[in-house]
Chain A
């Protein structure tokens, strides 16, 4: 099955700096890659996603890049703010048959933005 590796496990940056989180996946058939932000005690929130027919996608301060050949994708957050502090999960979607697309998650990155 699919395996998603995520690095780093923790990341500390100063407010205003950029943060980059990287993920690799193993299944070349995966074709959908979302990123989730999870605050303590809450459910994950979808912040951005990318499909395999696109190399880069941007939404304000957040961007995601995808390299299908190397099977890796990255989350970029610019001009970080203290409220960006959370755990970030990458995921890859594998067709499990029929119309169900299961997500395989990375282990998460705890991002701390220091004011």
Chain B
């Protein structure tokens, strides 16, 4: 499967600031990347789907102006949490998909907003 990295693995920020999370596909050209959010002891919730070179498609209930996604190349997608608040604290995970079915996940980024 694909090898996916995320950076940073853990970040603490103050309320009202913005945080950028990077997702890289290290050995695979990912035409599609997905961003998920996972709260403690809960399942993964899809936030958005991004295709290289086009705008992301957000799931219902996800604020596109708050969670900015940029998929500028076949190996890099970024998620920016703007004006973060404590309720945005969560585990953010990206996945890559090059073929029609399989998704391979990154190690996740733990965001804590104080």
Binding site for B on A (CB under 8 A): 32, 34, 36, 41-46, 49, 51, 89, 93, 96, 99-108
Whether the Cβ atoms of A44 and B93 lie closer than 8 Å is yes
Whether the Cβ atoms of A43 and B108 lie closer than 8 Å is yes
User: Which residues of B are found within 8 Å of A99, using beta-carbon distances?
Assistant: 31-32, 100
Chain B interface size, as a band, is: 20 to 34
Q: Which of B44, B51, B102, B108 has the most CB of A within 10 A?
A: B44
8 Å CB contacts to A: which residues of B78-101?
93, 97, 100-101
User: Which residues of A are found within 8 Å of B31, using beta-carbon distances?
Assistant: 99
B3 to chain A, nearest CB (A): 11
User: Which residues of A are found within 8 Å of B43, using beta-carbon distances?
Assistant: 89, 105-108
User: Which residues of B are found within 8 Å of A51, using beta-carbon distances?
Assistant: 101
Given A43-B108, A44-B44, A46-B103, 9 other A-B residues pairs in contact with their CB atoms under 8 A: A41-B110, A42-B108, A43-B4, A43-B93, A43-B105, A46-B1, A46-B102, A107-B43, A108-B42
User: Which residues of B are found within 8 Å of A46, using beta-carbon distances?
Assistant: 1, 102-105
Question: Which residue in A34, A41, A42, A108 is a CB contact (below 8 Å) of B103?
Answer: A34
